[in-house]
Amino acid sequence: MKYRELGNTGLSVSEVSFGTWAIGGDWGNSKDEDGLRGLQAAMEQGVNFFDTADVYGGGHAEELLAKATRGKQDEIHIATKFCRAGDIHDPENYSARRISEYCEQSLRRLEREAIDLYQIHCPPMEILRDGSVFAALDQLKAEGKIRHYGVSVETIEEGLLCLEYPGVAALQVIFNLFRQQPAQELLPQAAAKGAGILVRLPLASGLLTGKFTASSTFQENDHRRFNANGEQFNVGETFAGLPFGKGVELAQKLEWIAEGRGNMARASMRWILDHPAVSCVIPGFKNEAQVNDNLATLDVPSFSPGDMERLAAFYQSEVVPYIRGEV
């Protein structure tokens, strides 16, 4: 395993870490025993950081993490998120009282005394501009309930605003071959300010595995079906904001990246890790096989400068015109 510093937090995290949305829910059917075996396999190979949220399976993902990490609280770091269990546009949802309640509920489910990284879960811009939420998080930090805090953001503008608040230790962003814009300004600014970068949706909801065809379908309880066009939440959280058919077509044009790198998924995450401002990628998983395949990313070669230029040009000319939603 290879590790990187999570900004200025003092935490050293595995380059390939894991998100738990898929084992919590909203990615089709999953089995707890498969998820637990995957978590165990990850830890056995040196993964020391996991990302979750209080709304993943209504808290179930946090409970699975608690079960998998019992007795390892000092060596396995956990980031969780809050706010989407309530009305994300209501200022009261971000009051010190409400945030403390969210935090206590997560601590109980995680079976921990403190949360390593507590993140606001994609709040609207007006909440970030107001800034009161950060004072509440400072209070939780002073109380020892959280060690650090950050924000999971949807857009570059939100990320840059968050960096203006000195207590923000990390940003969680959508960054992949179909969403390259953060590399231009957000990643350099985060590095300059000592903020860590967690990359979610590194495979664009699976498009960048190269396994889908235009006729691929998804289960009713999979967000790739019920949010394919942003019906339930931000369209950018599903297929990087691309229409599914166009995403499949574009992924086929990127098949060359797998040459010498095993498969498209490993190559896609290698591209992300080739950006030094990134602290870690947090792909999802449902079972041990997916964990092992994602961890093989660490063994594949980096992209050449020429390849990086080719991929940047591809993004600008062929991907950007089809991205929906704010970026």
- Residues serving a catalytic function are 56
Beta strands 168-174 and 196-200 are parallel
Q: Rounded distance, CA 274 to CA 294, Å?
A: 16
Q: Which residues contact 71 (CB under 8 A, 6 or more apart)?
A: none
Determine how β-strand 3-5 pairs with β-strand 12-14.
antiparallel
The number of beta carbons lying within 10 Å of the beta carbon of residue 126 is 9
Q: What are the CB-based long-range contacts (under 8 Å, 24+) for 227-230?
A: 229/324, 230/324, 230/325
Q: Give dist(CA 194, CA 177) in Å, integer.
A: 24
Q: At which residue do the structure tokens 């949010």 appear? A: 227
Q: Using CA of residue 154, residue 244, residue 281, residue 279, what is the dihedral sign?
A: negative
For residues 270 and 213, the answer to whether their CB atoms sit within 8 Å is no
